[in-house]
């Protein structure tokens, strides 16, 4: 290992002293994982509580989606800015401010007395999440410098990122059944107190890009571009694809992001240095995160409806029904990051994971009006979860490994942005396709017939599952074409990595 690597790693505070580092590293992982869980939970925990919140606050069905979308819009559009702030002003500072802010606006949302107050709180949650998430991932990236330990740490982090949505459904169901919908927001205060205390004691502050300045034109272009893209796809749920509110925002988003890419080649202190995207394995990993997040919503969103509306599951039982998928994902994440990718490389492992997930989703299309959870849902969930466990944790690790220290925050933010944008696009796309399938099925049939209605909903779910399977299959092909052969080599000058 080069002297330069030792110097940089020492500066990062990750390998300052072996006894000190080994004592703290896993506690730091626990704190980071807890904070990440809080951010990921909030993309789904409120979903199960929405009917109760709607009845309590009296907002319309048309406004209901904005409780979910406000969070995704703010989160996705501010992530790159949040990552750069972490690099410029210090990751510990960004992490702690993000945790405190997230807790405060969660309490505000829990105390909401009307729709406007709840939507505002959700948007502010997204903003503080955009500061917290990249700081957490870059702290993980710079804390674990030993290659094997780093793989284990990322398997835990990736499993939480992948399974957090399902855990959110479970926790949302339990809290709504046991207490009140408001506790799906108040619970963040409890989590944040623990994460803040751990972060205050354990973390060190580093400002690897302290000499840089914020790229304000780049910030405005990418924030507006991501906002337009997510907003356009969100409008596809409530408007037609031919509506200017849908395609107009999508076109504007594409043009703004193209302008952002052009500006990054000219800016003195670019928000997203293009060197981060030019590495082939990193670009492939970011595409894998985007595709897996897009397809995953087919599992969570429509299976939640199927279990509650068709099989009569309670919110809590619905959450429990997802746990086998979580378990399979966590097992696969350990296997993929610590055993498979270090031995045979991502070109085989990640496409294989996508293919397995595609098989699981295609198998899920066999559900019917009177299907059993044990035969028509459980095995398919386990297969899909195992496949996603082979994709998400190694893709997240490869997307952030080998970057220069001053780019760690923004590289981490790019991963989070891909996950958020992928999920938002997946939700809108699959929702629209599912609604069209139900409408097409009802043509020429009696829409008042209960059995016909039930079969129409099954048609909408299975259509969404087929499209999810298609997204995963496309992910397998893209990953196979883009990833380099063999085991990824580590750049000895890249700050986070130390050779074994």
Are 207 and 53 in contact by the 8 Å Cβ rule? The answer is no
Q: Half-sphere exposure of 106 toward its Cβ, with a 13 Å CA cutoff?
A: 27
Asked if 217 and 138 touch (Cβ cutoff 8 Å), the reply is no
Q: How far is residue 424's CA from residue 333's CA, in Å, rounded to a whole number? A: 24
Low pLDDT (below 70) residues in the chain: 1-23, 61-62, 161-163, 165, 205-212, 237, 298, 405-406, 409, 488-500
The pLDDT, as a whole number, for residue 497 is: 31
Report the chain's C-alpha Rg in angstroms.
Answer: 22
The answer to whether the CB of 17 falls within 8 A of the CB of 152 is no
The pLDDT of residue 13 is 38
Q: What angle do CA 208, 196, 406 make, to 5 degrees?
A: 10
Instruction: Measure the CA–CA gap between 176 and 148, rounded to whole angstroms.
Output: 40
CA angle 251, 288, 354 (to 5 degrees): 125
C-beta of residue 237 within 8 angstroms of C-beta of residue 431:
yes
CA dihedral of 383, 389, 391, 395, whole degrees rounded to 10: 170
CA trace torsion 115, 117, 123, 129 (10° rounding): -120
Calpha distance 134→275 (Å, rounded): 18
Q: Which CATH number fits domain 11-214+271-482: 3.30.300.130, 3.40.30.10, 1.20.1250.20, 3.30.200.20?
A: 1.20.1250.20
In sequence order, what are the beta bridge partners of 498? 146
Q: Which of 406, 371, 349 is nearest to 208 (CA)?
A: 406
CB 99 within 8 A of CB 199: yes
* Residues 124 and 108: beta-carbon distance below 8 Å: yes
- Using alpha carbons, select from 432, 297, 458 the residue that is nearest to residue 371: 458
Could you tell me where the beta strands, DSSP code E, fall in 387-427?
none
Q: How far is CA 115 from CA 61, 185, 195, in A?
A: 12, 15, 29
Beta bridge partners of 146: 498
Residue whose C-alpha is closest to residue 134's, from 69, 71, 88? 88
Closest by CA position to 374, among listed 324, 302, 319: 324
CB contact set of 89 (below 8 Å; sequence gap of 6+):
207
Please give the Cα distance from 151 to 157 (Å, whole number): 10
Please, what is the angle between helix 115-143 and helix 147-178, to 10°? 160
How far is the first Cα of the chain from the last one, in angstroms, to the nearest whole number? Answer: 9
List, in order, residues 6 or more apart from 178 with CB less than 8 Å away.
none
Q: How many CB atoms lie within 10 A of CB 4?
A: 11
- Per domain, the residue ranges of the chain are 11-214+271-482, 215-270
127, 97 in Cβ contact below 8 A? no
Neighbours of 270 (CB within 10 A): 20
Please report the pLDDT score of residue 219 as a whole number: 83
- Classify residue 486 as exposed, middle or buried by CB count within 10 Å of its CB (0-12, 13-18, 19+): exposed
- Say how many C-beta atoms besides its own lie within 10 A of residue 106's C-beta: 26
| DSSP SS3 for 498 | strand
Rounded Cα–Cα distance for residues 23 and 30 (Å) = 12
With CA atoms as reference, report the closest residue to 92 among 129, 153, 135, 128.
135
């Amino acid at each position: 290992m080069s002297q330069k690597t030792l110097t940089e790693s020492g500066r990062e505070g990750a390998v300052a002293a072996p006894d000190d580092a080994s004592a703290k590293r896993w506690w730091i992982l626990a704190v980071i994982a807890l904070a990440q869980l809080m951010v990921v939970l909030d993309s789904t925990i409120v979903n199960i509580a929405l009917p109760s919140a709607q009845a309590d606050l009296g907002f319309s069905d048309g406004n209901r989606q904005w409780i979910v979308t406000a969070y995704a819009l703010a989160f996705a559009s501010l992530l790159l800015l949040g990552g750069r702030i972490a690099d410029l002003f210090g990751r510990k500072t960004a992490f702690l401010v993000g945790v405190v802010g997230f807790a405060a606006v969660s309490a505000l949302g829990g105390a909401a007395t009307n729709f406007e107050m709840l939507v505002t709180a959700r948007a502010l949650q997204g903003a503080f999440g955009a500061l917290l998430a990249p700081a957490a991932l870059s702290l993980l990236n710079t804390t674990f410098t030993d290659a094997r330990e780093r793989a284990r740490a990322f398997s835990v982090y990736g499993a939480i990122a992948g399974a957090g949505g399902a855990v959110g459904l479970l926790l949302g169901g339990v809290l709504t059944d046991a207490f009140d919908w408001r506790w799906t927001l108040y619970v963040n205060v409890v989590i944040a107190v623990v994460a803040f205390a751990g972060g205050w004691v354990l973390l060190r502050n580093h400002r690897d890009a302290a000499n840089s300045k914020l790229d304000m034109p780049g910030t405005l272009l990418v924030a507006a571009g991501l906002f337009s893209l997510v907003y356009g796809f969100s409008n596809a749920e409530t408007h037609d694809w031919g509506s200017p509110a849908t395609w107009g925002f999508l076109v504007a988003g594409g043009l703004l992001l193209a302008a952002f890419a052009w500006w990054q080649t000219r800016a003195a202190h670019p928000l997203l240095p293009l060197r981060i995207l030019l590495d082939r394995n990193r670009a492939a990993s970011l595409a894998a995160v985007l595709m897996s997040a897009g397809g995953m919503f087919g599992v969570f969103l429509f299976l939640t409806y199927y279990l509650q509306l068709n099989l009569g599951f309670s919110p809590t039982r619905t959450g429990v029904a997802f746990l086998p998928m979580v378990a399979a994902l966590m097992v696969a994440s350990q296997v993929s990051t610590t055993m498979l990718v270090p031995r045979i490389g991502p070109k085989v492992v990640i496409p294989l994971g996508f293919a397995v997930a595609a098989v699981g989703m295609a198998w899920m299309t066999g559900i019917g009006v009177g299907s059993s959870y044990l035969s028509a849902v459980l095995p398919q969930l386990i297969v899909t979860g195992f496949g996603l466990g082979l994709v998400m944790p190694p893709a997240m690790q490869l997307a952030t490994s080998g970057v220069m220290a001053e780019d760690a925050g923004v590289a981490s933010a790019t991963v989070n942005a891909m996950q958020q944008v992928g999920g938002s696009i997946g939700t809108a796309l699959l929702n629209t396709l599912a609604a069209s399938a139900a409408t097409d099925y009802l043509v020429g049939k009696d829409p008042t017939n209960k059995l016909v209605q039930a079969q129409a909903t099954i048609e909408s779910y299975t259509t969404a599952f087929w499209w999810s399977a298609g997204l995963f299959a496309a992910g397998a092909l893209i990953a196979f074409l883009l990833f380099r052969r063999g085991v990824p080599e580590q750049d000895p000058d890249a700050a986070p990595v130390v050779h074994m």
